[in-house]
Structure 1
């Protein structure tokens, strides 16, 4: 009897080695050993430092920016939503894993059955009479009651690994949610840095414009005095007025730009505009990036870029789902049992004579479904093959993005240097033009033209720095990595 009870368990343990379906093979990529533009100024090859990649923005040397990043990573609503999605994925994994163990239900109660004397089945047994004595035989009691307590146990023996494959797929889906949160952290952090720098750039450009307005107003007064004294012309005055009006017209656009980036920062921080405005009450110049960017090796992108990692995990998950679909075409083995106690009187319920039980083993096999099972396997296979192509595309796009930004970062630095040199030389030209005009050796057109060039180049220097900052953010993002400030939260 004991051997009979253990036989199903022994068979199940023996059959657990019969898992079917293809095993997952991690993809391999033919990668270059170095970047095409790895010698870009401001970058360094070799292994990327984890600390640097996590807090590279601290090289802007702006405490407020550092604090904004910390606050955004703790307050941003999309990141909170991402955390809840991880919880959902974890719960889903736990739910799938529960199918690997037996399901046990406990129950207890009291039952009463009244048999009808006129019933077609047992009625005759209740009213049967002894033909000799003429008294009731009492074959069946017409009123029965009993107390019961017991359990029902059901277990699908995962012989061919269908449930295991589903558990693996659920686990991978949870890993994808974690990677997606890392990618979202990178995206939000980069948006915070970008909008902050754009706001500071708008503030600096506005200060340049206001300074230019004051300078042009003083120049206009000087021209008017020259006109009154007969040494100037109305044409000079008209040109000075026009130049002043053009400069003033830039101010509303810069105000709009500053306001827009403040509003975007408030959204990223999960704050109201009024709450966020308190942070930026004082205008500050655009900070400059004072570090170098470690590019690492091209192969590092496979483990650092969230989009590539998600694409790789998608391949793994779909492979497990394909294997589960294959295993679903094989027989399913079920073990069920119902141990318990049953007694007419409650006092006798837990005695050894009240023990009752039932057990069974069964097999279910869908031998014909009109090709539905094969179609499901084919669909899963096609999805897996498509995910392989998506992975390849993600790798190619990542390398192309890094190369483009490396080249752009180098050219943007050259642009800043050249524009700054031009701005310095133009300032000297303005001073020289003013001296010649006061000495009566040139007309005012020379001053206006020199001032126009100076104002344009001052603004262009800030715009060039913003472009370099944009390239800096983009290159760090393209190189990947986990940007979370505190990985314990």
Structure 2
């Protein structure tokens, strides 16, 4: 009994073996230790009690608190359940999980049941006692096991695990991105609505001016030049309105694509562009925080870990493969004799395969694994640098949009007064119609610039929220679910098919 125990311990130690995986060390972040804080970055946006983050990090703020428009909240919820790109991301996670399980299964012995019958004819000159036909029945169990002494299979298992984790982080990044895309497309729809409104107002004003100018021309008190200038403003406004109506329809189509279904008729009332109270003072933290907040960085690091594990598998390929195969069962020349005494049959065949000459394939595989790791290190560093730039750009924009909008508001007021005064002077014969035309054009232009600046400011706040890792949880205070959490919405709709098969 003691001898068998020693053998079992020896086999276990032998199977545990060693590993040729290099020790993983996270590359240093190739960015500054802090985000820029001087110049335009020093100016902080104005906040109210309704739009402050209260010092909480973006990852701790649910998107329902960040986006307070009830119409937008419902659109985001619909998109998370129906968006096809997100469903593909979830299914990719399931595929990577299955691939990991396939690779991990190679660590364990296989056991198969087998039953067979063989019939053989031997030439009469070579047969014994004239028996030319012989047959054999066999039933038993076959087993095989590769002893992973050098860690080749374990390295492949680690590689598959890290690829699975990388795919899960890619799914998380896709979901966060979808939240921001729906929000920004919704804001774009609101912006086009505002552009249509000012275009309609401009068109009404231009048509009134054209009517007055035409009356003066018909009565002989106005020039054809003034008439054609007034007509130009009217037709330009009409052309702009058609272009904006087209943009409005296309913006809504893009929103429908994102949510994965037609816009429901029972959506709650939404808020105007000016009433979108997004959180404006989310703290940026340190660049090192992005390593645990940004799923794209975590995806890049998991891919790097997978490449690191692949080196272990490539190194282990230089060493012998040790496998054990065996079978146990019964064999008999007749079916009825399979289970009679003395019919037991077994075999045990240990095997060692040592690579001697393979045309340099193993060397090339190891070189390739090392190069791939260097590539993934570069990709990881680039992901950090891109994340740093995203946050820095958004911080710079956040610090300047409020002042820009205030300046455009003052300019809009000034241009509106200029138009009123120009029309008054034209009616009294002091100025030509060119002054009215210029004032109308300038007012219309600055009104469009103001709307574009407002939607750009909101887009910037959304981008900063996402760049800092926000958008994964729906409600503040929730425990974040794992990146590889099942797609319950997709499963409920029968698309993901988690329980099928």
Q: TM-score, normalised by structure 2?
A: 0.82
Matched, 1:292 2:280: yes
1:241-261 residue CA offsets vs partner (Å, 9 max, x unmatched): 332222222112212211221
Aligned length: 467
Matched, 1:171 2:161: yes
Residue pair 1:197, 1:286 contacting (<8 A) in 2 also: yes
Residue pair 1:182, 1:482 contacting (<8 A) in 2 also: no
Cα distance in 1 for partners of 2:314, 2:452 equals 57
1:309-353 residue CA offsets vs partner (Å, 9 max, x unmatched): 222112100110011110111111111111112345656544554
Uncovered stretches (5+) of structure 2, i.e. residues with no partner: 46-51, 476-480, 488-501
1:161-207 residue CA offsets vs partner (Å, 9 max, x unmatched): 11001001001111111111122223333322222222221121111
Q: 2:415 aligns with which of 416, 426, 438?
A: 426
Larger Rg: 1
After the TM superposition, which residues 15-414 of structure 1 pair with which residues of structure 2 at under 5 Å, given as runs? Answer: 16-29=16-29, 32-37=32-37, 39-42=42-45, 48-52=57-61, 54-55=63-64, 57-58=66-67, 61-111=68-118, 116=123, 118-120=124-126, 123=127, 125-126=128-129, 147-224=137-214, 235-271=225-261, 275-276=262-263, 285-287=272-274, 288-294=276-282, 295-343=284-332, 349-351=338-340, 353-414=342-403
Range moving further from structure 2, 227-236 or 146-155: 227-236
Residue pair 2:151, 2:316 contacting (<8 A) in 1 also: yes
| Distance change >3 Å, CA 156–CA 217, structure 1 → 2 | same
Higher relative contact order (CA 8 A, sep 6+): 2
Q: Per the alignment, in what secondary structure is the counterpart of residue 125 of structure 2?
A: coil
Matched, 1:460 2:449: yes
Q: CA deviation at 1:452?
A: 3.2
Uncovered stretches (5+) of structure 1, i.e. residues with no partner: 128-140
| Distance change >3 Å, CA 89–CA 232, structure 1 → 2 | same
Cα distance in 1 for partners of 2:169, 2:471 equals 9
Range moving further from structure 2, 343-352 or 424-433: 343-352
Cα distance in 2 for partners of 1:153, 1:2 equals 25
Q: CA deviation at 1:404?
A: 1.9
After the TM superposition, which residues 476-487 of structure 1 pair with which residues of structure 2 at under 5 Å, given as runs? Answer: 476-483=465-472, 485=474
| Distance change >3 Å, CA 290–CA 108, structure 1 → 2 | closer
Q: TM-score, normalised by structure 1?
A: 0.84
Residue pair 2:112, 2:143 contacting (<8 A) in 1 also: yes
Q: Per the alignment, in what secondary structure is the counterpart of residue 368 of structure 1?
A: coil
Residue pair 2:71, 2:269 contacting (<8 A) in 1 also: no
Residue pair 1:40, 1:406 contacting (<8 A) in 2 also: no
Cα distance in 2 for partners of 1:476, 1:78 equals 21
1:31-82 residue CA offsets vs partner (Å, 9 max, x unmatched): 5443104544239796514342644651xx3222222222222211111112
Cα distance in 2 for partners of 1:147, 1:430 equals 104
